[in-house]
Structure 1
Amino acid sequence: MPRAILALYDTREEQKLRLSRIHTMAEMPLNHLGLTVVYWDVADGLPDLARFGDLRGVLTWFAGDPFDDPRGYATWIGKAMDQGLRVVALGQSGIRRSRAGTAMPMSLANRFFGRFGLRDDDGYSDLTHRSRPVVADEMVGFERPLDGPLPGYPLMRAVDPRVTSHLVLRRGGQPESDSHIVVTGPAGGLAVEGYVRHYDPELVRRQWIINPFSFFRAAFGTDDLPKPDVTTVSGRRLYFSHIDGDGWRNATEIESFGKDRPIAADVVRREAIEPYPDLPVTVAPIGADLDPAWKGTAASLAAAKALFALPQVEPASHTWSHPFFWGFFQDYTPDKEAAFAPASGRRARGGYLANWFGRTRITEDEVVGEGGHAGGPDIGRYAVPRAFLEEPFDIAREVGGSLDYMTGIAPAGKPARLIQWSGDTQPYAAAIAATRAAGVRNINGGDTRFDAEFPSYTAVAPIGVAMGDQRQTYAAASNENTYTDLWTNRFYGFRNLVHTLRNTDTPIRVKPFNVYYHMYSGQKSASLAALKEILGAARVADIAPVTASHYAAMADGFQSIRLVPEGQRRWRVVDRGALTTIRFDGASFDAVDFPRSKGIVGQRHHQGSLYIALDPAVEEPVVALAAVDRTDVAPPAPRPYLIEGRWMLDGVEVYANGFLAGAQGFGAGTMSWWMPVPGRYAVTAERAGRVLWRGEAVAGVDHRLSLTIPVAAETPLRIGADRLD
């Protein structure tokens, strides 16, 4: 089933894809609907559609007129629609004028708009004080109501009865003046400029006017599409946590530690990691902070070894020399960086400088005072291109070298397999390719917020971003740096992460539960208290914890997965990688049809959607659905299945009186199963043939078998349940 949306954008209008309207606002709702996005810069002309394999549609969001030849664009759009692609046009159509400003004939405009079931009556209402909505359904006024003066709008008439009009404006009470502003239909959808999203220039904040989830769902016709989902594992919200090594060697300022104050990395270990063995965390030091040949010390190296030895800690790397501005290194030469060499032949100041990160460019006095140099190329808000300048930049050392170093100091069998991007978290394509060549994942960037300061889904990032033929995976939530005015104020601010965690889980689950922070959180009492408050919230949440590298692998699986129809309401799942959940929306009266399915661990209804857990041990699961007549109980089935659980399960074997399954996870194994036969069940957990725990649980008249297996499962084990009576 085609899942890809071809997004047309214009670098002459939006210089960076990362900052484009489609990427920052539209791609996340599209991801939620199971869709991927591929980009094409129309400054390079129009693409050959044949080069894209599984397109579902085309999306544009222009603010101006990007085409020298709008006629050619109209022809291209027509061919796309003739091939069955749905087209969605937000903002300006790109068809009314050429890039040089030449007006196009109305016949050309109506050839374009006619494809959407509309006709342009060659009019425009710029005085809107007498205009009122006569149709404004639930798709309009999503985050920003239509109040106050309305933006100007073109006069668009609906001419196709198959079109659904979601917003119709009328002037002066005259029906003949009705203008159809937001529409969807079999060809796609259209929403005119000024009625897609609201922008507040004073607060620099955006809010959706249309409901992007509903609009894209209707325009791209996704109801028939099973949705690959990276927010949920084993029927629960996925949890992961990762730490960037910034501030590793900073001495803590917390007075309770006494005069001999430990470094921040040790404080975080003792206060926020060791007391939480049930919450995995991926720890990524900076190589230069550990290696004695650079700026490492005995204490900084020992701190890393102590952390990596903990069973809930996954080793990773935050690069070797901590690049701040990755774009600087895309065409790197040592001479280019020489402008930032330390003054008077002194070596660069060692260690991470918190006041250099994320700040406006530092004054000349400040730079020289730190042993830096105020001259050289402009690198934006950073004073130097990277934190450690001891040796020339080497991308092989930043990626493969740093990973090898972390693996070398970690216990045997715990390889470092994740790069956590540093600085502006905007790596160039070749840097991302270096992680792929090393066989590891990558993460960071995105800075998702959804709270009182950022009260909109427009601040919720997509799963990742394409850079050329490479792909960067974003963190699922922002770190404490954005809550603390770039680590200069409000050091308690990270506690406000709870609002983003709540808003990205309800009423729509769009993100997993991600706790992402830096080692400098161990430096101050307020920041450490805020971190522990967030970890406390995680402890009582209904979560399934995984490592950060596992989440990044799932994000890659979201891109690669293919869904092959195999009959009535039946799909084969191919090339899914580590992704283990398929979601069906609006599925309260649907359930897994187990006799027609394969490789299914379980199912759970949540928020009107059906989340189906796939067995990682089955290469190509098959998902089939059947109708059920009740929504207040777990759907009946001829075999046991997992409803929800904290651990990930694989190699599941089910039979009439019980089940066997491989299990891996963090914390006690709390889970619920639906059992065909109520009664008492003997439950066991074993590893390598040795029984670790035995117990009993009861499936009541509701067929739910709820149990807790109180053993450690960081190392995989095998669990089973057998009916006793």
Structure 2
Amino acid sequence: MPLAEMTFYSRVVVQPELVTEHELVWFKKRNIAVYAYLSVGESFNKSESSLSLNPNWNSHIADLTSEHWQQHMQNSAALLKARGFTGLFLDTLDSYQLLDAKHSKPEQQAGLVDIIKNLSNTFNKHLILNRGFEVLPKLAGFASDLVAEGLYSHYNPSDNSYKLTTKDDQTWLIAQLNKAQTLGFNVQVIDYAKPNNRLAMAIKIKQAGFTPWVTDGHLQTWGTSSIKPVPRRILIPYNSKVKPLIYTLVHLKLATMIEYLGYIPDYVDMAKRPLPLVDPSLHAGIISWTVSDAFYTPTLTNWLESNLGVVPQLILGELPNASKLLLKLGVESLNTSPKAPYELAHFEPWLKGEATTAPAITKPYFLKLSKNATPLITINSADNLAVVQAAKTKYGAVVVAPWLIDALPMEGSKWVIDPRTLLTKAMGLPPILVPDTTTLSGRRMLTIHIDGDGFTSVAHFAGKPYSAEVIRDEIIEHYKLPLTSSVIQADIEQGGLHSKMSPKLEAIARDIFALPYVEIASHTYSHPYFWTALSGRKKIDVDDTDYGFHLDVPGYNSISLKKEITDSIKYINEKLSPKNKKTVMMLWSGDATPGPKALELARDAGVLNVNGGNTDVNADNPSLTHVSPIGRPERDLLYQIYAPILNENVYTNLWHGPYYGFRRLTETFEITEKPYRLKPYTIYFHFYSAEVPAGLEALKHNIDYVLARPNTPVHLSDYAKIAKDFYFSALAKNSDDEWLFSSKSIRTLRIPSDFDVPNVTQSTGISGVTQKGDYIHITDDIAQLSFDHTQTNNSPYLASANVAIDTWQVNGPVKFKAWVPATLDLINARSCEFISHMGKRFKGTSRGKITQFKLPEGQFYGYLNCKRGAF
């Protein structure tokens, strides 16, 4: 389901058998009422209650007076109520009118009223009726809403056609709808139209006084109401039986830029579900990238071909053996193979990537252009034939191997082409406002988290303290920044690897977890090294490993996911956590590639999860191929959120040295800042960083580097919520061409360079925009952004701050938590002051357009007071 787009609405109607329990919980957390579709007058299953056949849908019309049918309706409602649905959408209320004269219409109507009244009792009047005008007066007070189809259009399923209704039909239906409104029903109209005609029809319905929803005749695509979603989903087919998603190039390499541009990689596992109906209202494009032509089954090829022109397509790597598809795309194979050697003839300048030389051209694809295509990369053969390697086509673009990523010995990999212009100029994705996971209140986020490894290591310092003690004293308590700390249960518990020292080790953990700026995480029970084997993605022989499958815990010979996840969290909560805190995170160990069962156990334990990914890019090879996406989806709303940047282990040659190697983390910070801010500041390390002075000094160097620059410190769990909500946030536009943004956790929108800056005065749900005009600060779950500058934007607004804003209102309440002394930069705020709930006043210092306010660390409750007219 398009859950993200549903967040713009307070109520949705769904087909109940297609909704999972976790989706229902997801809706409930967002205060979205979920109504289940229920057909009252018909069924596709023939039963003892069936009287006749509806030829339009090949469905069976029910006897509404039948005790069997009435009980069936009540049983269905009870099951839906037990599952957690808020209400019912009652369809086919008029089907009895298709029955012949021998069936008494008044009796059928009486049966219908009885059914609906019983359903009303079950759902406390939370019913939506689809028409049923003849019995409506008897149902006033038993249902809240009424829907009518076909005010201005109707759909004919027999020939898949859309037709306008007659003026007389419109007049009659409007009279019925007005009557329903006088009876107290809220009225909504569902009409049907092709995509390009929907908004105009929705506006017409609204002008008639009713709430609109205009969609296709089968209600299979997303409809248009007073708003229309901005398509963000990129459909990406893959086959988990051939290669798991986590190992595919499209996920490992290209998804990072897809997400940076604000689009959502919508992966479709062809091994587990059919290829979906492509909906231009939701889907912005299709990307297919494979290294094997066996990937292209006839089903996939036909699906791609049938959707040419529906949304843009990008075909990468190995091409399908489908001449018809390729010809329509704009390329075709040469009849003869040109002679080697080959040399580069043309490379479109805007498509050039990081590589400074062309890749080795050994076995090129032999393509030529057909109509409606423009060459992007061509090579010349020895016999002087021009051979196409990449082309922009009428329907998107094609780029063949090896013109995507070049893997160089001793140098790592580089993009041969520019992934950004590949997606924007070649494929044609338009610029959109970007839900941002790197920035908060206009400043780059800072997260710090510690894996439990090395907690028990003896540090090379006077007195031989444990590394955990050194980290506690020199890092955690010294900097007092929000930090996420974890332990490995078997490493410190009684009966574990260091049983004799367990009382002292557990006491150190309690000291750390009790600190007010520390949030608690588990790093598992025994530190499994190969989650990829536990998930069944890869077979690993224990004899081929350096460490075995996990820490060598006495008596623990077979890994139990429950013990690693559920029980380790329980141990921490019962033995180590203070009374007012609980474990909130699972930090994956080892290769950090958990499967769906592990992710499910973490979710069931009520914790978020982070770790994994491969972002470790440095100045030796500053390539975006070494920057991972935000996360990875699994089944049923499960997501692994990757560590934004990897830990000191990869900067120190797996902790073999040099131990100061983690200082190079600042190179990663710089590369992931320019030209694109791809990641927050992330300082991710293990307790063993304090084993040696060089490791500890490198860690301090990294923290000091960030603190010397604008940043907003947050807990890792805050980042995890923001990161996960990237996949559940949505954009839309209304009939006034204003942008809307919906998100439960994301509080920043990045503005593309070719966009205007919003008018803060005319917008709602925002606190401001950065002085450079690159980030918008969101305050509400739904924000409405106006880019109309006919009214001067002269009200006070936030430019940037080093705090996460909880509440913001000019001349109203303001609330935030400052982990360090707070600095807030405001524009148009010379006459403003912050007043705490204790009455203390904080005036600002103005320089140019900026007025800076400095407030002490801690929780701020108070007001932002500004003299009106003096902005």
Q: Same fold, TM exceeding 0.5?
A: yes
Are the equivalent residues in 2 in contact too, given 1:4–1:36 (CA < 8 A)?
A: yes
1:166 alignment counterpart: 376
Q: Per the alignment, in what secondary structure is the counterpart of residue 81 of structure 1?
A: coil
Q: 1:309 to 1:324 in 2, by over 3 A?
A: same
**Separation of aligned partners in 1, 2:476 and 2:768:** 31
Q: 2:775 is aligned with what amino acid? A: Y
* Alpha-carbon offset, residue 636 of structure 1: 6.5
Are the equivalent residues in 1 in contact too, given 2:449–2:485 (CA < 8 A)?
A: yes
Q: Give the TM-score taking structure 2 as reference length.
A: 0.68
Q: Per the alignment, in what secondary structure is the counterpart of residue 541 of structure 1?
A: coil
**Separation of aligned partners in 2, 1:124 and 1:610:** 50
2:277 is aligned with 1:49: yes
1:37 alignment counterpart: 265
* Alpha-carbon offset, residue 475 of structure 1: 0.2
1:717 alignment counterpart: 861
Q: What are the Cα deviations for residues 175-211 of structure 1, in whole angstroms up to 9, with x where unaligned?
A: xx444433335522211111111112x3272100110
> How do 1:113-512 and structure 2 match up within 5 A?
113-125=326-338, 127-129=340-342, 131-140=343-352, 142-147=353-358, 150-161=361-372, 163=373, 165-170=375-380, 177-185=385-393, 187-200=395-408, 202-203=409-410, 205-254=412-461, 258=462, 260-277=463-480, 279-294=481-496, 295=498, 297-330=502-535, 380-391=545-556, 393-408=559-574, 409-469=576-636, 470-512=638-680
Q: Give the TM-score taking structure 1 as reference length.
A: 0.80
Are the equivalent residues in 2 in contact too, given 1:231–1:510 (CA < 8 A)?
A: yes
Q: Per the alignment, in what secondary structure is the counterpart of residue 622 of structure 1?
A: strand
2:781 alignment counterpart: 619
**Separation of aligned partners in 2, 1:275 and 1:636:** 46
* Alpha-carbon offset, residue 172 of structure 1: 7.5
* Alpha-carbon offset, residue 681 of structure 1: 3.6
Q: 1:525 to 1:707 in 2, by over 3 A?
A: same
* Alpha-carbon offset, residue 488 of structure 1: 1.8
Correspondence for 1:74 among 294, 297, 301: 301
Are the equivalent residues in 2 in contact too, given 1:184–1:215 (CA < 8 A)?
A: no
- Relative contact order (C-alpha < 8 Å, sep 6+): which is higher? 1
Q: What is the RMSD of the two structures over their aligned residues, measured on CA atoms?
A: 3.1
1:369 alignment counterpart: none
- In structure 2, list runs of 5 or more residues that go unmatched: 1-229
- In structure 1, list runs of 5 or more residues that go unmatched: 96-107, 337-360, 362-375, 629-634
1:351 alignment counterpart: none
Q: 1:2 to 1:384 in 2, by over 3 A?
A: same
1:112 alignment counterpart: 325
* Alpha-carbon offset, residue 674 of structure 1: 1.0
Q: Per the alignment, in what secondary structure is the counterpart of residue 400 of structure 1?
A: helix
1:667 alignment counterpart: 820
* Alpha-carbon offset, residue 323 of structure 1: 1.8
> How do 1:600-615 and structure 2 match up within 5 A?
600-604=766-770, 610-615=774-779
**Separation of aligned partners in 1, 2:334 and 2:614:** 43
1:60 alignment counterpart: 288
Q: 1:311 to 1:716 in 2, by over 3 A?
A: farther
Q: 1:186 to 1:281 in 2, by over 3 A?
A: farther
Q: Per the alignment, in what secondary structure is the counterpart of residue 464 of structure 2?
A: coil
Are the equivalent residues in 2 in contact too, given 1:127–1:152 (CA < 8 A)?
A: no
2:234 is aligned with 1:5: yes
**Separation of aligned partners in 1, 2:392 and 2:517:** 49
* Alpha-carbon offset, residue 380 of structure 1: 4.4
Q: 1:171 to 1:377 in 2, by over 3 A?
A: closer
Q: What are the Cα deviations for residues 591-632 of structure 1, in whole angstroms up to 9, with x where unaligned?
A: 1133542200221265xx7211110xx23222233469xxxx
Higher mean C-alpha deviation, range 389-398 or range 15-24: 389-398
Q: 1:545 to 1:68 in 2, by over 3 A?
A: closer
Q: 1:718 to 1:293 in 2, by over 3 A?
A: farther
2:61 alignment counterpart: none
**Separation of aligned partners in 2, 1:664 and 1:290:** 33
2:833 alignment counterpart: 682
**Separation of aligned partners in 2, 1:643 and 1:86:** 37
* Alpha-carbon offset, residue 85 of structure 1: 2.4
Q: 1:65 is aligned with what amino acid? A: D
Are the equivalent residues in 2 in contact too, given 1:590–1:610 (CA < 8 A)?
A: no
**Separation of aligned partners in 1, 2:675 and 2:296:** 44
Q: 2:483 is aligned with what amino acid? A: V
* Alpha-carbon offset, residue 483 of structure 1: 1.3
2:717 alignment counterpart: 549
Q: 1:327 to 1:198 in 2, by over 3 A?
A: closer
Whichever of the two has the greater Rg, that structure is: 2
**Separation of aligned partners in 1, 2:614 and 2:863:** 38
**Separation of aligned partners in 1, 2:805 and 2:669:** 25
Q: 1:291 is aligned with what amino acid? A: E
Are the equivalent residues in 2 in contact too, given 1:322–1:388 (CA < 8 A)?
A: no
**Separation of aligned partners in 1, 2:625 and 2:789:** 35
* Alpha-carbon offset, residue 401 of structure 1: 3.1
Aligned-residue sequence identity (percent) comes to 26
Q: What are the Cα deviations for residues 150-181 of structure 1, in whole angstroms up to 9, with x where unaligned?
A: 455344444445x554334455797xx44443
* Alpha-carbon offset, residue 127 of structure 1: 1.9
* Alpha-carbon offset, residue 311 of structure 1: 2.5
* Alpha-carbon offset, residue 460 of structure 1: 0.6
Q: Per the alignment, in what secondary structure is the counterpart of residue 397 of structure 2?
A: strand
**Separation of aligned partners in 2, 1:50 and 1:247:** 50
Are the equivalent residues in 2 in contact too, given 1:324–1:387 (CA < 8 A)?
A: no
Q: 1:248 to 1:153 in 2, by over 3 A?
A: same
2:181 is aligned with 1:16: no
**Separation of aligned partners in 2, 1:541 and 1:146:** 36
Q: 2:764 is aligned with what amino acid? A: K
* Alpha-carbon offset, residue 112 of structure 1: 1.6
**Separation of aligned partners in 2, 1:44 and 1:498:** 42
